[in-house]
């Protein structure tokens, strides 16, 4: 599974259709007064992607964030590889830890009326 996933991920190129669909959704949110935030979820294989593929992924997320004024929360590096049950899904304990961190570092700011401007970096925001 890992090899097949990395093979496909290393060829990542967002399609025009994908870009258009996300753009339409973010435009609708803005029009309806809905605060949209882009969340890149934890990724067990993040360090294993080819650098060119990683650059395309980062550019896709950053471009969407910038073009649509939607903060990017890049949580791909928030969880260690052993936090994944099957390299794709977090274990129950890891999911709880991730949710607590997301609530503390991101959602609490919105609930307190302090909109977050995003983490436009693949680096972890804080220690796990």
The pLDDT tens digits for 68-110 are 999 999 999 999 999 999 888 999 999 999 999 999 988 888 7
Q: Which domains does the chain have, with CATH numbers?
A: 2-111 (3.40.50.1110)
Q: Nearest to residue 9, comparing CAs of 60, 57, 59?
A: 57
Interval 14-27 mean pLDDT: 94
Positive/negative CA dihedral, 1, 91, 98, 81? negative
Mean model confidence pLDDT for the chain? 87
pLDDT tens figures, 35-67: 899 999 999 998 999 999 999 999 999 999 999
Can you state the angle between helices 16-31 and 51-68, rounded to 10 degrees? Answer: 30
Burial class of residue 8, CB neighbours in 10 A (0-12, 13-18, 19+): exposed
- 84 has which bridge partners? 90
Alpha-carbon dihedral angle through residues 99, 82, 78, 4, given to the nearest 10 degrees: -110
Evaluate if residue 128 carries a pLDDT over 70.
no
* pLDDT-based confidence at residue 4 (cuts at 50, 70, 90): confident
């Amino acid at each position: 599974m890992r090899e097949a996933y990395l093979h496909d991920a290393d060829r990542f190129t967002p399609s025009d259709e994908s870009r258009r669909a996300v753009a339409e959704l973010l435009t609708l949110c803005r029009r309806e007064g809905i605060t949209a935030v882009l969340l890149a979820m934890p990724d067990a294989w993040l360090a294993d992607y080819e650098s060119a593929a990683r650059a395309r992924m980062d550019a896709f997320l950053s471009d969407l964030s910038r073009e649509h004024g939607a903060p990017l929360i890049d949580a791909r590096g928030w969880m260690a590889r052993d936090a994944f049950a099957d390299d794709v899904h977090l274990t129950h304990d890891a999911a709880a830890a991730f949710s607590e961190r997301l609530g503390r570092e991101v959602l609490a700011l919105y609930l307190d009326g302090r909109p977050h401007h995003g983490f436009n970096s693949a680096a972890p925001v804080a220690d796990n």
